Amino acid sequence: MNTVAVLGLGIMGGGMAANLLKAGFPLNVYNRTAAKTAPLAALGARVAPTPREAAQGASVIIAMVGDDAASQAVWLGEHGALGGASPGAVLVECSTLSLEWVQALAAHAAERGLAFLDAPVTGSKDAAAGGTLRLLVGGDAAALECARPALSVISQEIIHFGPNGAGATMKLINNLMGAVQTAALAEGLALAERAGLDMAQVAGLIRSGAPGSPIVQSKLGAMLSHSYADTNFALRWMHKDATYALRAADAHGVPMPTLAAARELYRMARNLGLDTADFAAVFEALRHHP
């Protein structure tokens, strides 16, 4: 099997890397916090001190980091993975990033004659650990076929949406809708709580009724118990994704007043110190409002 590199070993990247090792792929890994590499090293991964060294000799180079700044750090610069990528390697950016940076990164790759896929994922930490993510891919179809053996190990479905930028755009659409639905759930529960309704009855109706979308059902229990420590997706990242989605919408001239309001609610929750809590904690921004 060809060597794969994974850059970024957080909740998502760590699960992806572990599945690649289980499938028998030789694996190079890099993480800014070196301590997170230890479990994968114990499973046989080669730990590299820089993204550039992790990329050397890899046929597929996968990045999974938090935001544009982290993506720029792992790909560019003296120690960036672009400088270590071998001719013929496929670069796969699985992070949820702004459309403008994804397009810029695709151009950087093209300047070096390297294939690039934007392939952000849907699914949370359980899906990453179980290899059941969905990949939303933008880029050349031939590049996708080259990377497919490795990508199939980390996912249950790979959907090719079109050229570079298409996968990134679809992921922002997916997340903006999740952000809005979760914010609406928080508003509904806040009103029910203030009105003195039986919250068990409220929850039962929401679960069985038209508003009970999968994301609403998945966040309802955490909001009712006010328990957000089991983080599937951190609140700060949802605020970031809403920001990137608004920027993409602005570039395309699409008004998004509902998303803009929801993003403000996530900002209010961040001001309460809930950055690393699951994004269901957006509920607390309303509960603590006088």
Residues recognised as catalytic? 171
Task: Tell me the C-alpha to C-alpha distance, in Å, between residue 97 and each of 66, 91, 171, 238.
Answer: 8, 15, 9, 12
Q: Which two tokens stand for residue 169?
A: 């755009």
Question: Beta strand 121-122 with 133-138: parallel, antiparallel or unpaired?
Answer: antiparallel
Q: Which two tokens stand for residue 156?
A: 């249950």
User: Could you identify the residue written with the tokens 């794969």?
Assistant: 4
Task: Tell me the C-alpha to C-alpha distance, in Å, between residue 53 and each of 5, 86, 140.
Answer: 10, 11, 26
Task: Tell me the C-alpha to C-alpha distance, in Å, between residue 150 and each of 24, 58, 60, 131.
Answer: 10, 11, 8, 11
Q: Give CA–CA dist 211/213, Å, rounded.
A: 6
